[in-house]
Structure 1
Amino acid sequence: MDPIYLMIVAVVAIALLLFLVMKLKWPAYLALLAIAVLTALVGGIPVQEVIPTVIAGMGGTLGSVALLVGLGAMLGGIVEKTGGAELIATKAANVLGKKRLGPALLIASAVVAIPIFFDVAFIILVPIIFSFAKAAGHRSPIYLGAPVAVLMVFIHNAVPPHPGIVGSTTLLNPDVMGLVTILGLLLAVPMAFVVWFVNKRLEPKGGWEMSPEVAEKYEHAGAADFDEIEKHHGEVGDAHGHTVTKVAKDPTVTHITKPSAGTVIALILLPILMIAVGTVGKLIVEPETPVANVLAFVGAPGFALLVACILAMYILGMRHGWGRQDMSDIMDSALAPAAIVVFVTGAGGVFARVLTESGIGDAVSGMLISAGVPIILLAFLLALIFKVAQGSGTVATLTAAGLVQSTVMSGGFSEFQVALVILAIAMGSVSLSHINDSGFWIATKFLGLSVGGGLKTWTLMCTIVGFLGMAIITVVWFLTAALV
């Protein structure tokens, strides 16, 4: 078909998608499927092939996404319910000292954000943010909470097993999932320093103005007493360091103890270590040998998360008084919110498949590349445009990946370069987050920021880390190209 016609189809399809989601408030899952079918019909796919294309797109995406997001949600659910977030935060504070509560909380939040979705992870940490901020003598929790929120959403967008980055990796090259994980984590390190130092310079002279509700909560929040927490190391503590006793549903269990923070951290980092072993092993071991095959199996993200889930179930749960039924309920309940994300990601995969099969992706990316736009910049800009327009990082990521899929797959790029393209998409999906993004409202409402305050903190810092991350990726891209 004529590339100009296909470009028009793409523009109309995306406009309709935004209209359905933003104005008519259709669920993203339904809107993506409806627009995918309509796009397939007007994009030249034979009518008898439309539904098979939909099924192929859904199945091809869900293979990796359902596996990784489901297991990641289960691991996150166990860490959440067994008090892992508080344990990690308290341990970091005790190691770094009371004068470094902010950096301690930032480090702890980064670890917690790896297996747990942003919205859940941040809400878990809110009482701890209040408690630490009070202990540090800050006038508001925003001083500690804003950089924590931005770093956590950065990790959510850039590090598997979170849905957007898993979905785009599945579309562009599932074999680089481990590499994307390692590179995403490496990229998060400088971003932690950036959000911390930028946030310190954003606070107005008179302090941030908080909403009355949050101001009252903060006024009555208890400051963390780390000496008292250390004294009760073997017991369960709430966000303020008070000892509590939980009763499991199993009638034979009357008291639940807490694991050590080191154990929780080790179980979160275990799958990352396994993935790193497989990724590095692929580079140094002769391919198709028994050793290479074993390393590939051990380092497969799905297997790594499966091992971590099983170990967490016993080590964090049953060994510390949680009943078998309790653990089953915790892990099952973690799948409920994940299921929505998985279905939306699958529908995004359908739309991406239609864009590829109809030739729309080739037409759009080919026209822009022929105009001199490098693929790495194109991937970033497409994700950024969709993010600004409709708010969802997952939808932005998958749509951008679908538009560049054909170009990436036929471009002869190395696995490392494909991983950089995927991360460029992630940087676009985290930038310029504003009032149409649920993350904006979660961060601002729980911290008591006004809309203006949210734009000056959350939006600004998300944009800084997204653009700075993209700058780093671009430098690495051109250095790699020069070496090759």
Structure 2
Amino acid sequence: MENWVSPLSTGVLLGIAAGAIAALLVAIIRFKVHPLLALIIVSAGTAFATQIPAGEVLDVLVDGFGSTLGEVALLVGLGAMFGRLAETSGAARALSDALVTRFTDRRAPLALGVVSLLFGFPIFFDAAFMVMLPIIFTIARRVGGGVLIHALPAAAALSTVHVFLPPHPGAVAATVLLGADVGLVILIGVVVAVPTWYLGAYLYSVWIGRRIVLPVPDLLTGGPMIDDDTAAPPPRPGTVVALLLLPLVLIFANTTVATLGKTGAIDHAAAWAEIMMFIGSTPIALLITVLVASRVLGTGRGQPAAVVEDLLDNALKPIASVVFITGAGGMFGAVLIASGIGDALAGTLGATGLPVIVSVFVVSAILRIALGTATVTITTAAGLLGASVVAAGLGPVQTVAVVLALAAGSSIFPHVNDASFWMIGRLLGMDVPTTFRTWSVIKTLISLVGFALSCVVFALGALT
């Protein structure tokens, strides 16, 4: 597949992509085909329609499915385990009580969003959302009003940070490929990301959350409960905060060591540096957190090890559908990339002749809609336009603005070819149309507001 090039024209490839997406929507929404089955069937059909060699089709499907599971399954699984411990031990309720007392019931969605902005800085979106989920569900049950009004602001905050700020992979890729200063990207990125979240995501999340009232899913409450006769009083909020900060600290240490190694400040090949980066990798950081939580929230509070083991085992059962459908979404995206659709679209968009900040946003946005993966979108768009950005002779602030505009484009309108679309929809108990009305719109607003603020930064950079 490395040297294979599709014999089809750009127009035909784009038509096949549009038809595949339409077929998915009709199958799932109109004929109620299970999303996992629909994604597999349409992915295979798209591969054959784009004339991927028949002997390679299965490899493309399996590789796309497996690579997505490799990124998502461990994070979702370990996050669900932590969430189950936090839910059944009373830890989630203890922290939610403290937050609601401090911010009041009416401001609970804002409190969750602000906490998520801070928590999402060093942690990837999938992992951070799974760790926050028990807190979100507990506050939603206590305050009422449905799950969406509480979950969407938090999810949007995590996503906004993930899109715009290093050390997240898309922002790092754009920074490197466009030649921006990483420190300046972080500094200006924070100034852009916070109002982008509030104006583009929080206000709409609260508005739509009041109109679509869904019950809190029981993902974290099925199976055995901790024995109230033997359980100690709920842990203190400070203990819960410490557990939430543990993966954050480990992952931040990983990022710091990796960054210092790249700059030459330390020897990144040293044994201690490699061990630190291993411990601070996201799956290992979450694993350590689950182990510590099992002791602090489980056996350390008088629960038998067998009870804790049952809790963790039952935490995995409700998320099986989420993991498989998310993997199938990655499969569909992999077919679109392997078929040459992304390259065909990128080549067409490369000669738009638009102003540099507009062209990077448009190219990034269209690639995102076509391919469904933010990191591939950013890498492709930055690689396509990097030379023209460098040739434009932009100042440091303007270059940062272009990076942020490209990142904003990569956030626009997630749909059926995006793994996060399925993960968010399934975890929050939404069907496909509701996920479009909520998550797809929220991400599009984040994209548009972020681009508008990037243009303001670009204009101000021209004055310096």
Alignment counterpart, residue 339 of structure 2, candidates 355, 358, 369: 358
What are the Cα deviations for residues 195-224 of structure 1, in whole angstroms up to 9, with x where unaligned? 899589979xxxx8999x99xxxxxxxxxx
- Quote the residue 1:267 is aligned against: 243
Distance in 1 separating the partners of 2:290 and 2:46? 40
CA-atom RMSD in angstroms: 5.1
Which letter does structure 1 place at the counterpart of 2:252? Answer: A
- Aligned partners of 2:77 and 2:316 also within 8 Å: yes
Deviation at 1:401, TM superposition (A): 6.1
Distance in 2 separating the partners of 1:324 and 1:267? 20
Distance in 1 separating the partners of 2:231 and 2:344? 62
Distance in 1 separating the partners of 2:426 and 2:81? 25
Cα 1:353/1:149, change in 2 over 3 Å: closer
Alignment counterpart, residue 127 of structure 1, candidates 141, 164, 183: 141
What are the Cα deviations for residues 160-218 of structure 1, in whole angstroms up to 9, with x where unaligned? 7xxxxxx997xx89x9xxx9xx9999977546755899589979xxxx8999x99xxxx
- Quote the residue 2:269 is aligned against: 289
Structure 1 length-normalised TM = 0.63
Cα 1:78/1:68, change in 2 over 3 Å: same
- Quote the residue 2:47 is aligned against: 40
Q: Which moved more, 1:52-61 or 1:121-130?
A: 121-130
Distance in 2 separating the partners of 1:67 and 1:295? 20
Alignment counterpart, residue 106 of structure 1, candidates 88, 104, 110: 110
Deviation at 1:407, TM superposition (A): 4.8
Q: Which moved more, 1:359-368 or 1:308-317?
A: 359-368
Structure 2 length-normalised TM = 0.66
- Quote the residue 2:359 is aligned against: 374
Matching of residue 76 in structure 1 with residue 83 in structure 2: yes
- Quote the residue 1:58 is aligned against: 65
- Quote the residue 2:230 is aligned against: 254
Deviation at 1:353, TM superposition (A): 2.0
- Aligned partners of 1:20 and 1:26 also within 8 Å: yes
Structure 1: segments with no counterpart, 5+ residues: 131-140, 161-166, 215-245, 387-395, 431-435, 446-450
1:301-316 to structure 2, matched below 5 A, reads: 301-316=282-297
Cα 1:439/1:29, change in 2 over 3 Å: closer
1:6-405 to structure 2, matched below 5 A, reads: 6-94=13-101, 96=102, 102-103=106-107, 106-108=110-112, 111=115, 114-116=128-130, 122-130=136-144, 148-155=150-157, 157-158=159-160, 189-190=194-195, 194=199, 198=203, 248=226, 254-285=230-261, 286=264, 288-290=268-270, 291-372=272-353, 374-380=359-365, 397-398=372-373
Structure 2: segments with no counterpart, 5+ residues: 1-6, 120-127, 163-167, 177-181, 216-223, 391-399, 416-420
Deviation at 1:89, TM superposition (A): 2.5
Which letter does structure 1 place at the counterpart of 2:359? Answer: P
Alignment counterpart, residue 425 of structure 1, candidates 410, 415, 427: 410
- Quote the residue 1:3 is aligned against: 10
Q: Percent identity?
A: 28
Deviation at 1:5, TM superposition (A): 1.9
- Quote the residue 1:163 is aligned against: none
Deviation at 1:346, TM superposition (A): 1.7
What are the Cα deviations for residues 215-253 of structure 1, in whole angstroms up to 9, with x where unaligned? xxxxxxxxxxxxxxxxxxxxxxxxxxxxxxx97459xx6
Q: How many residues align?
A: 392
Distance in 2 separating the partners of 1:482 and 1:56? 48
Which letter does structure 2 place at the counterpart of 1:349? Answer: G
Which letter does structure 2 place at the counterpart of 1:348? Answer: G
Deviation at 1:274, TM superposition (A): 1.7
Deviation at 1:310, TM superposition (A): 0.8
Distance in 2 separating the partners of 1:116 and 1:193? 22
- Quote the residue 1:137 is aligned against: none
Distance in 2 separating the partners of 1:247 and 1:57? 37
Distance in 2 separating the partners of 1:479 and 1:464? 23
